[in-house]
Structure 1
């Protein structure tokens, strides 16, 4: 990389990075419905902004607790992409439940939560899933 490229990158505004938690429990995946939809994006995985100094995995765990009141642990990163609807950089982490019961924990941001079986996902997320997330759920939710 040239000095010019380095200085341009150093001055670039920070990316708004989002961490999403793919929480599977008892044959279902957790989805939350945002109070304010972004286009087609209404139902999604618990997700939110990665705070400075925070890993994507820790952010996914924190956001799941804040939005759905559920205690989870990060199991494995599933990948990152620029979301086709929001344009934000999203990192997905597979998580497992270690305590609590899913409910609307942040009523200002979340309207409802749902535990969804594999065949129901397209009813909630009609534009499809990020392929590594879909592959993970195909295995994790196999009946």
Structure 2
């Protein structure tokens, strides 16, 4: 069985691109996946759940924010983790971000557009970058 086949059998991962106050929310996992250290709130899509629903749920579970999905940005096989990924733009409905899942997360940061390359030096998925380029003022 190939690595690609095994990755395809794993549940997809839904990421939430949460923008507020001209910044995007990023989290640092306690255990990195290869080069992935800083990333967006994300987690496995559960049975019967859409990628958008999973992104909203994972944001609540990981950082305590209630968010609303506003736009599905796309999906791909992540070039580093080889996992099926989907990306959903979200807006904050209520709450203040904090490390709610202390088992999975080490910290979080609200990042400006100019600072994204420091957190994700290999670049973002192009539809996510395009969304952030339009949603965040440099």
In structure 2, stretches of 5+ residues that fail to align are 1-7
Question: 1:84, 1:16 → 2: CA distance?
Answer: 16
- Normalising by structure 1, we get a TM-score of 0.89
Corresponding residue for 2:19? Answer: 24
Q: How many residues align?
A: 131
Question: Aligned-pair distance for 1:15?
Answer: 4.1
Corresponding residue for 2:50? Answer: 55
Larger radius of gyration: 1
- Normalising by structure 2, we get a TM-score of 0.93
Name the SS for the 1:57 alignment partner.
Answer: helix
Corresponding residue for 1:67? Answer: 62
Alignment of 1:105-124 (within 5 A): 105-124=100-119
2:30 matches 1:35: yes
In structure 1, stretches of 5+ residues that fail to align are 1-12
2:133 matches 1:141: no
Question: Aligned-pair distance for 1:16?
Answer: 2.2
